[in-house]
Every structure is written in C-alpha cells, then in structure tokens.
Amino acid sequence: GAVVSQHPSRVICKSGTSVKIECRSLDFQATTMFWYRQFPKQSLMLMATSNEGSKATYEQGVEKDKFLINHASLTLSTLTVTSAHPEDSSFYICSPTWGYEAFFGQGTRLTVV
Amino acid sequence: GEDVEQSLFLSVREGDSSVINCTYTDSSSTYLYWYKQEPGAGLQLLTYIFSNMDMKQDQRLTVLLNKKDKHLSLRIADTQTGDSAIYFCAERKGGNNRLAFGKGNQVVVIP
C-alpha cells in the first residue's frame, strides 16, 4: 500500500500560537489532498479539499483564515492552525488520494492549553 | 443531507466471525470502503468494493454489497484480538473523490 507520512503525531501548544501539520505521500503523487478532523468517539469530518497548486475548498463552518492549507506539490501538503484555541484541540488526519484510492496519514493529536 | 449509518458497538469472541453493517443513501456512489482505526492512529484501508460488485473476499475479510437496499457489510472470519478497533465504512461521493464516513463501529474481541 501507499506510504503516507504525517507529522507531528502529537503536539501541545499554548493558546494563541500557530501549529503546522505536514503530510507527505512518499511513494505516489496525490492529485487531491483532504484534511479531516476527528473529535473523540466521533467520525471524521471533512475540513477542506485541495488540489496541487490551487486554493483549498473549505467545508461549511470551517474558517479558511484559521486553518491555512498549502498544497505546493503533489507529494506535500500542510495544514496550519493559526491562533489556536482550546476548542481546536482535536485529531487531524490528512488523506492524499490518487485515482479511486484514498490513503490516510497517522493523524496529529493537537492539544491547545 | 445524505448520511452513512453504522451501528456502534460489537463484542465478539476470539475465533468467531464478526459482521459489521453499514447503510448509505447515495445511490451514485461508485466505491465503498472499509477502514480500520486503532486507538490514536490514522485510518488503515482494509478493503473496498466497486458499486457494480456484490461481493469481494480478501483473506479473512468478506464485503457484501446490496445496492438495491444500499447496504454494505464487512465480515471478519476467525476474529483475532488484533482486530479490536473502530471500523468505518465510507462512500465516495461527487466528482472530487471526497469520502463520506459512517460514525464507526467499535469491535472488541474477547480472548
């Protein structure tokens, strides 16, 4: 199967600071990158969709200025949580896709204190 | 909106078979997936089935698709303790390959 590298796996940050999460597809080129958020004991909620070189499309209710997505290449996308607040604490998962196959990173547990 | 529905909890003895069910509402979905999530980890693709198939078997996993009833199931044969996890079904929606996930089904395997 495809190899996806997402890091950091865990991060604790102070309220008001920014955190960058990186997602790489190591052995394939991802035409589309999805970013999901998962609260405890809940399913994945799609935050945004991005294609390489284009601006991301955000789901309703997701602030684009707060969750900055960069998809500069077919193998790398980043999600930056800006001015983080405790309510942003969650599990963030990237999903690079190619064709009909969607793969997932190992997730980043963000805790904002 | 359209939802993917799953039951929430299943307890099964080691060595028995376990069956997880899922219903979806988008008849235009082309691919349906089963993912496994262990605690604190991302999602691992277990298997997928194309919408024109009724069944797919992959080692201990059997996927059944009833397109008429929009019902998807995953059967795990000879369930092992390592199968304890949360299982999500997902359907591919729309032209941008986005996935819609069910709420997940926690499977606990009792030794």
- 10-residue averages of pLDDT along chain A (113 residues): 89 97 91 90 90 87 94 91 96 88 89 96
What mean pLDDT do residues B19-32 have?
A: 85
Rg (CA), chain A: 13
What mean pLDDT do residues B80-101 have?
A: 86
Contact A8, A109 (CB under 8 A): no
B40 to chain A, closest Cα gap in Å: 8
CB-CB neighbors (< 8 A) of A101 in chain B: 45, 48
Measured between alpha carbons, how far is A106 from B42 in angstroms, rounded to an integer? 4
- Tell me, what's the pLDDT at B92? 83
| Interchain contact, A101 vs B41, CB within 8 Å | no
Partner A contacted by B104 (CB < 8 A): yes
The answer, yes or no, to whether residue B95 has pLDDT greater than 70, is no
Partner B contacted by A43 (CB < 8 A): yes
Closest CA to A3 of A39, A35, A32, A29: A29
| Interchain contact, A104 vs B30, CB within 8 Å | no
- pLDDT tens for B37-68 read 998 888 888 999 988 899 999 999 999 999 89
Partner A contacted by B1 (CB < 8 A): no
A105 to chain B, closest Cα gap in Å: 6
CB-CB neighbors (< 8 A) of B104 in chain A: 42-43
Partner B contacted by A20 (CB < 8 A): no
Alpha carbons within 13 angstroms on the beta-carbon side of residue A34 total: 19
What mean pLDDT do residues B82-89 have?
A: 95
- Tell me, what's the pLDDT at B108? 95
Partner B contacted by A95 (CB < 8 A): yes
Contact B90, B100 (CB under 8 A): yes
Partner B contacted by A97 (CB < 8 A): yes
The band of B1, judged by pLDDT with boundaries at 50, 70 and 90, is: very low
